[in-house]
Amino acid sequence: MARTVSLVLMLALALSAQAGDAEAGKAKAGVCASCHGMDGHSQNPLWPNLAGQQEQYLAKQLKAFRDGTRSDPLMAPMAKPLSDQDIVDLAAYFSSLP
């Protein structure tokens, strides 16, 4: 029982260390606005709206672009330099938008 509690606590700490900060994400989102819009709503039908998307989904997609498991000639170079914290911050920001 104590071992299970310890594992749960370690997992909770690991997850909280990767919590996204929407304000930090907003500060990092400037380059995203050129394609996805200042408010996360794209004016071009070729690029998706990011506003209101699920935070976990956005983080998963950004990691996939960064790591090369998802390919796109425009997104790959944008995502490549992002840290894990940058990704969760951006995901928190865009998911917070209406």
Query: What's the pLDDT score for residue 2?
Result: 60
The CA distance from 73 to 96, in Å, is 27
Q: For position 16, what pLDDT does the model report?
A: 46
For the chain, 98 residues long, give each residue's pLDDT as a single digit of tens. 666 555 444 555 444 457 999 999 999 999 999 999 999 999 999 999 999 999 999 999 999 999 999 999 999 999 999 999 999 999 999 999 99
Task: Pinpoint the alpha helices (H) of 18-54.
Answer: 22-28, 30-36
Domains recognised in the chain with CATH numbers: 20-96 (1.10.760.10)
The pTM of the full predicted model, rounded to 2 decimals, is 0.81
